[in-house]
Structures are given as C-alpha cells and as structure tokens.
C-alpha cells in the first residue's frame, strides 16, 4: 500500500476524506492498521474551535487499537501481524522532559500528543507510531478492541486526574463533569481509595455509569452551585479532593476551589477553553494560604501505562466498556461517529468504530 485513505480536518471548521502517502517507517517506528478507533471531544475542539490552530488535510483521531503492518530495523518487541494497543500520547522517551519525569511534555509542552496534532492521526487505513517498543503494547487475550480503545485516552486521562488528586485512603472526592473523562476519573477515584465520592452532572446515561464506577452521591448543578451542595452534604467540611473534568471557566473553578477543604487538592483533566484565564477565587483560596494545591496534566502514554490500565480491566477492577454506548462498523462510519460526538445526543457517552481493513 503506497497511499491510504483517511478522515481529515481539511481546515478549521471543515472535515472530509483525504488520500495520503503511507508514512515512512523510521528505524524505531511502526506502521499500524487500525482495527478499532474512537472519536474524542478533542477532535471536535480541533476542528470546530481551532483549539490547536490551523491544520490542513490532517487525518483526525488519536484513540486506536490496531495491527502492526511494518516495523523499523531497531524495533525488537513487535512484528507485522501483532495486535496492539496504541496510546493516544506517544512520548519521545529519550527527551529531556521524560528524564525530568514528564514524558507527555517531551520535545515541547504537550509534545507527547502527536496524533492529529503534529502528524496524521488514527482515522485512516494506516498510521505511524514513533518509538514503537516504548509506546505500543500487545493487546492481551481477554480484552476486546472496544474495551482497549477506552484505555488509550479516556481512562488514562481520567485516572490521571485521580492520581493527581492526592486522595487519602477513605477520603472524600468530588468529580465535576461526567462525560467519558469524568467517568474515568470516578472509576479512578474509587480505585485509588475514595470513600465518599460526589459526581456533579445530569445526563441520565452518565449518572448510571457514574454509580457503577463508584459515585456515592450525584450532584445536579442545576439545583444550585456545586460547592454549596457539597458543603451542605458534608456538614460544611468540603472534600479532600476535587477533580475537574468538565464545566466552564466562569464558574467551575470557583466551585471547585470552594468545595475543597483547606489542605485539599484540585486536579484538572479538562481541556480548558473559552476564556483567556482560569479564575482562582482569591478569598476561597485562603488569600493564597489555604494549602489547596492545584494540579493539571496531559494524558500519560507509553507501553507501561497501557499495560497497567489493561490489567485493571483484565482483573475486573473496573469495566472500560461501560463507556461505550454506540458501535459502528467500517471505515466510512468514522465520519458518522465523529458527527455523533459533535451532536452529543442524550444517550451518548462514547462511540467506537470497528474496522476490517486490508
């Protein structure tokens, strides 16, 4: 195959199918044929908000499971035909940021995010993976494609939110936003020792999964400010950890900071947009002296991360397929799946597209 077909961002605000040359496979790289992909809200931001700036004919998508079709001369762990999980973030593990402990920030800030950002993404017949040995992992027996594709960004991002939230064993947690990432944050908070676990959101399909993942209290933000509800439910105390996985820049941060105890933590996993600044409420933040820490981060990638998340699924700690509400079949259905994500109907959490490519 010399060229491949892919579903692309033609320019800001416009999508379409493109035909492109199959990328070259460097000595440490691999070329992959996807078997299952899933669109992400980031794809929507990228195309219709211009969130990462202008791009021309860039194949979209960064969530995929696939089959290796070619490997570079230095690749030791993989060979054509291997079925692999592909992390959304594929760091340059030899970069200085990786040595500093932040592989997702390699080469430049957010630089570990390559698919549908610095190069063509996974919504095509073929895609390229850098540092294959470090970034790919074999899809284990017992894990379906649609389960595995939920790990590569949703679980990895959402659960990072929980890891960054400094949850004390048995501590109380608030997750704001119950889209796929927020639900993964809830799943992660339960896995990391949350006692009481508040989830703020309203969509019935999400509320149902939130409870299955471990939420103990659902907060409807339409019934009043989240922090006021949390304070009331906790006898004024607030919570140990807050994870922001939704909301907006006008209210959400105020509510998050105001929900946290002094000494608590606010952890963001939301792709922030819509204003120039995040507003941290001064008085609620103790005039800068409350010992409330604020963390953010970009989805962790790489093989070890994927293996660990796969183990959580394989050993029944949580079920990634709870996130999958819609299944499509065939390359051409990627377009439908993406537009479904854009429209966000009531019964949607995440769609997947099963592929059966040559």
Give the nearer residue to its own copies in terms of CB position, either 45 or 119: 45
Alpha-carbon separation of residue 248 from 274, 281, 305 (angstroms): 7, 14, 29
Give the residues across from 353 on adjacent strands. 37, 328
Give the nearer residue to its own copies in terms of CB position, either 84 or 355: 84
Give the nearer residue to its own copies in terms of CB position, either 95 or 319: 95
- For residue 185, the Cα-to-chain-centroid distance in whole angstroms is 10
What distance in Å separates the CA atoms of residue 69 and residue 174, rounded to the nearest whole number? 43
The DSSP bridge pattern shows strands 58-59 and 64-71 to be unpaired
With contact defined as beta carbons under 8 Å apart, do 269 and 161 qualify?
yes
Give the nearer residue to its own copies in terms of CB position, either 10 or 196: 196
Contacts 24+ apart (CB under 8 A), 45-49: 45/271, 45/273, 46/9, 46/116, 46/117, 47/9, 47/12, 47/13, 47/14, 47/15, 48/12, 48/13, 48/342, 49/273
Instruction: Give least dist CB 157 to its own copies, A.
Output: 9
Instruction: Give least dist CB 251 to its own copies, A.
Output: 12
Instruction: Give least dist CB 304 to its own copies, A.
Output: 4
Give the nearer residue to its own copies in terms of CB position, either 89 or 349: 89
Instruction: Give least dist CB 17 to its own copies, A.
Output: 28
Instruction: Give least dist CB 74 to its own copies, A.
Output: 7
Give the nearer residue to its own copies in terms of CB position, either 70 or 92: 92
Instruction: Give least dist CB 333 to its own copies, A.
Output: 29
What distance in Å separates the CA atoms of residue 307 and residue 56, rounded to the nearest whole number? 34
Nearest partner of 188 among 265, 127, 114, 243, judged by Cα: 243
């Amino acid at each position: 195959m010399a060229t491949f077909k892919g579903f692309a961002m033609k320019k800001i605000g416009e999508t379409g199918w493109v035909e492109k040359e199959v990328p070259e496979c460097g000595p440490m790289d691999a070329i992959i044929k996807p078997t299952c992909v899933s669109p992400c809200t980031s794809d929507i931001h990228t195309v219709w908000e211009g969130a990462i700036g202008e791009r021309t004919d860039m194949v979209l998508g960064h969530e995929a499971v696939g089959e290796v079709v070619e490997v570079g001369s230095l690749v030791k762990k993989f060979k054509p035909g291997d079925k692999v999980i592909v992390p959304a973030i594929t760091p340059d593990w030899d970069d200085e940021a990786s040595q500093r402990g932040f592989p997702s920030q390699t080469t430049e800030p957010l630089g570990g995010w390559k698919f549908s950002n610095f190069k063509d993404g996974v919504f095509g017949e073929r895609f390229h993976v850098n540092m294959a040995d470090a970034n790919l992992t074999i899809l284990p027996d017992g894990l379906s494609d649609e389960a595995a594709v939920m790990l590569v960004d949703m679980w990895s991002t959402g659960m990072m939110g929980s890891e960054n939230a400094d949850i004390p064993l048995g501590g109380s947690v608030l997750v704001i936003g119950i889209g796929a990432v927020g639900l993964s944050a809830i799943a992660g908070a339960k896995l990391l020792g949350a006692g009481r676990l508040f989830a703020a959101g309203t969509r019935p399909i999400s509320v149902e999964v939130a409870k299955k993942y471990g939420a103990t209290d659902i907060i409807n933000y339409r019934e009043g400010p989240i922090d006021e509800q949390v304070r009331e439910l906790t006898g004024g105390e607030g919570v140990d950890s807050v994870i922001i996985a939704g909301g907006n820049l006008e209210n959400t941060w105020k509510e998050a900071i105001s929900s946290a105890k002094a000494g608590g933590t606010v952890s963001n996993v939301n792709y922030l947009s819509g204003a120039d600044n995040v507003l941290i409420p001064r008085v609620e933040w103790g005039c800068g002296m409350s010992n409330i820490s604020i963390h953010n981060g970009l989805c962790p990638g790489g093989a070890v991360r994927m293996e660990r998340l796969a183990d959580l699924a394989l050993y029944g700690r949580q079920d990634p397929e709870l996130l999958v509400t819609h299944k499509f079949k065939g390359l051409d259905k990627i377009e439908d799946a993406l537009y479904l994500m854009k429209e966000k109907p009531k019964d949607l959490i995440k769609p997947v597209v099963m592929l059966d490519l040559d």
